[in-house]
C-alpha cells in the first residue's frame, strides 16, 4: 500500500525539499521511457520524432496569443516592484488554443530554474486543477507540485498503514504550508489550468473559498504571487467573485469562424510554411480556410491535431501531404465521417452545416475534456 510522505514541520516550513532528486529516485518515468526508446532505435522513429519536434515549434498567429503575451510581460516586468501580484484569465472552448498559449508563456526565459547553493529556485509553478475540487484538494495538488508530500497515513511496522490522528492537515494548515513553500522555493508566478473543474463540485461556498485563497496569494504582504487562470469556464469563475474580477482581465480564445476567415487563412499559411514539404497545397487559398473551419469548428487546437496526424505519414514516407491525408486524419480523430468530410467533397456549398457544434459533445472527465466521439448526420 502506498503511504504518503509524513510532513516534518521544520522541513515543511523552513526549506524547500530537493524534489528534483526525489523525482529521479522515485519517479522513473523518464528513465523507463529512455530505455524503451533505445530498444526501438530506427531511422523511422527518428524521422517521426523530428516531425513532432517540428510541429511543437510552429507559432500559432492569433490575436489572443499577442494579448496573453503582453499581459504576461506586464506580470514579469512588475515582479518585485508591485505590492500585489497581477493576474489574468484565459477563457475559451475545448481545443481553441488555451494549452498552446500556456505552453508558450511557461517557456519565458525569466522563469527558468535558478540553481543556488541552497537548492533550485523555481519562479514558475504550473498546477492543473483536480476534478470535484475543493480548497483542501487543490492545496494538496499545489504542495505535491512543489514536491511536498501531505501525510495521510503512516507505517505501523508490520507492513500495514493506518490513518493516524493529528497527521491529516486541514485546509488552512495546508495553505499555511503552501504560503511558506512559495517563498522558500522562489515561486513568483503560478499558472492554474482546468479551472473549470471547480464547477464539478456542486458546493458554491467551496468555490468561493478557492477564489478568496487565490486573492490572498495575490495580495500577500510578504510574498505576493502573480496568477494565470485558464479553462473552459475561467471567465465564469472570475466574474462570480468581485475581489478577483477587478484584478483579473479576461482574454477570450475564440473559434475562427467564417467571419474570421482571414485569421484561419493566416494560420494555415503559417502551418504549411513551416512543415517543410516540398510541394505545398496552398491551404490559405481558395476555399481551404472554409473547409478547415467546417472540419474543426474553427478551433486552433483541433487544427493542430489534424496537421500532426495528417502530416506524420507523408513525412516518414518522404512525400508531400495531400488533401486525402487531411481527409483521412479528420475521420481518424472523429472530426467528421466520410459523408460529412469537407476534404472529400468537390463543392463545399453542398455540404450541410453540422446541427451541433463539436463542443456540445464534450464530456468532462477526471482530467479536462474527452474528444467528441459522435457526429450529427447531415
pLDDT: is 153 or 366 the higher one?
153
Q: What is the pLDDT of residue 212?
A: 92
Lowest mean pLDDT among 36-45, 117-126, 309-318, 321-330: 36-45
Residue 71 has pLDDT above 70, yes or no: yes
Q: Which range in 8-12, 44-48, 58-62 is most confidently predicted, on average pLDDT?
A: 44-48
Give pLDDT tens digits for 176-215. 888 888 988 889 999 999 888 888 777 788 888 988 999 9
Q: What is the mean pLDDT of residues 303-313?
A: 85
pLDDT of residue 12: 46
Q: How many residues make up the chain in this entry? A: 378
Check whether 172 has a pLDDT greater than 60. Answer: yes
* Separation CA 231–CA 89 (nearest Å): 8
Residue 196 cell numbers, joined: 473549470
Which pLDDT belongs to residue 60? 59
The residue ranking higher by pLDDT, 158 or 345, is 345
CA-CA distance, 342 to 302, in Å (whole number)?
Answer: 15
* 173 vs 97, higher pLDDT: 173
Residue 303 in this model has a pLDDT that exceeds 70: yes
Q: Which tops the pLDDT comparison, 162 or 212?
A: 212
* pLDDT surpassing 90 at residue 280: no
Lowest average pLDDT, out of 14-18, 87-91, 186-190, 220-224, goes to: 14-18
Q: What is the pLDDT of residue 100?
A: 76
Alpha-carbon distance of 78 to 105, in angstroms, equals: 16
Find the DSSP H helices in 27-97: 29-39, 43-56, 63-78
Q: How far is CA 201 from CA 174, 194, 195, 206, 208, in A?
A: 20, 13, 12, 8, 11
Least confident of 83-87, 93-97, 111-115: 93-97
Contacts of 61-66 with C-beta under 8 Å, sequence gap 24+, read 61/263, 61/266, 61/267, 61/270, 62/97, 62/253, 62/256, 62/263, 62/267, 62/300, 63/263, 64/90, 64/92, 64/97, 64/101, 64/251, 64/252, 64/253, 64/254, 65/97, 65/100, 65/101, 65/104
Provide the pLDDT for residue 25: 53
pLDDT band at 354; cut points 50, 70, 90: low
Q: Which of 375, 303, 298 is nearest to 340 (CA)?
A: 375
For 65, the 3-state DSSP assignment is: helix
pLDDT digits (tens, 9 = 90+) for 209-240: 988 999 999 999 889 999 999 888 888 888 88
pTM to 2 decimals? 0.67
More confident residue, 10 or 174: 174
Which has the minimum average pLDDT: 43-47, 135-139, 326-330?
43-47
Domain positions in the chain are 9-14+47-252, 258-361
DSSP string, 189-233: EEEEE-GGGGGGS--HHHHHHHHHHHHHHHH-SSS--EEEEEETT
Per cent of the chain over pLDDT 90 is 8
**Homologous superfamily of the 9-14+47-252 domain (CATH):** P-loop containing nucleotide triphosphate hydrolases (3.40.50.300)
Amino acid at each position: 500500500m502506498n503511504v504518503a510522505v509524513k510532513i516534518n514541520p521544520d522541513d515543511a516550513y523552513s526549506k524547500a525539499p530537493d524534489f528534483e532528486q526525489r523525482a529521479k529516485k522515485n519517479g522513473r518515468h523518464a528513465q523507463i521511457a529512455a530505455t524503451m526508446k533505445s530498444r526501438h532505435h530506427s531511422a523511422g522513429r527518428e524521422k517521426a520524432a523530428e516531425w513532432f519536434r517540428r510541429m511543437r515549434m510552429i507559432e500559432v498567429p492569433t490575436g489572443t496569443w499577442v494579448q496573453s503575451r503582453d499581459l504576461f510581460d506586464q506580470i514579469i516586468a512588475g515582479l518585485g516592484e508591485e505590492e500585489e501580484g497581477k493576474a489574468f484569465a484565459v477563457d475559451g472552448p475545448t481545443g481553441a488554443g488555451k494549452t498552446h498559449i500556456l505552453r508558450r508563456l511557461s517557456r519565458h526565459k525569466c522563469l527558468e530554474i535558478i540553481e543556488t547553493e541552497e537548492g533550485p529556485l523555481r519562479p514558475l509553478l504550473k498546477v492543473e486543477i483536480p476534478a470535484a475540487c475543493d480548497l483542501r484538494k487543490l492545496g494538496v495538488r499545489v504542495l505535491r507540485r512543489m514536491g511536498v508530500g501531505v501525510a495521510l497515513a503512516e507505517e505501523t511496522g508490520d507492513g500495514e498503514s493506518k490513518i493516524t490522528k493529528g497527521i491529516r492537515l486541514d485546509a488552512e494548515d495546508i495553505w499555511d504550508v503552501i504560503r511558506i513553500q512559495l517563498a522558500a522555493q522562489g515561486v513568483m508566478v503560478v499558472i492554474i489550468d482546468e479551472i473549470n473543474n471547480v464547477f464539478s463540485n456542486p458546493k458554491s461556498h467551496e468555490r468561493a473559498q478557492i477564489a478568496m485563497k487565490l486573492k490572498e496569494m495575490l495580495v500577500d504582504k510578504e510574498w505576493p504571487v502573480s496568477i494565470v487562470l485558464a479553462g473552459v469556464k475561467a471567465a465564469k469563475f472570475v466574474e462570480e467573485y468581485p475581489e478577483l474580477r477587478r484584478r483579473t482581465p479576461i482574454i477570450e480564445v475564440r473559434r475562427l469562424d467564417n467571419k474570421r476567415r482571414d485569421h484561419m487563412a493566416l494560420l494555415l499559411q503559417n502551418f504549411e510554411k513551416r512543415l517543410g514539404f516540398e510541394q505545398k497545397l496552398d491551404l490559405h487559398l481558395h476555399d481551404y480556410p472554409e473547409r478547415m473551419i467546417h472540419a474543426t469548428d474553427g478551433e486552433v487546437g483541433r487544427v493542430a491535431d489534424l496537421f500532426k496526424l495528417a502530416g506524420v505519414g507523408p513525412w516518414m514516407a518522404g512525400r508531400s501531404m495531400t488533401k486525402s491525408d487531411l481527409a483521412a486524419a479528420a475521420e481518424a480523430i472523429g472530426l467528421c465521417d466520410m459523408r460529412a468530410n469537407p476534404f472529400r467533397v468537390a463543392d463545399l456549398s453542398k455540404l450541410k452545416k453540422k446541427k451541433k457544434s463539436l463542443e456540445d459533445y464534450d464530456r468532462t472527465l477526471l482530467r479536462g475534456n474527452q474528444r467528441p466521439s459522435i457526429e450529427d448526420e447531415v
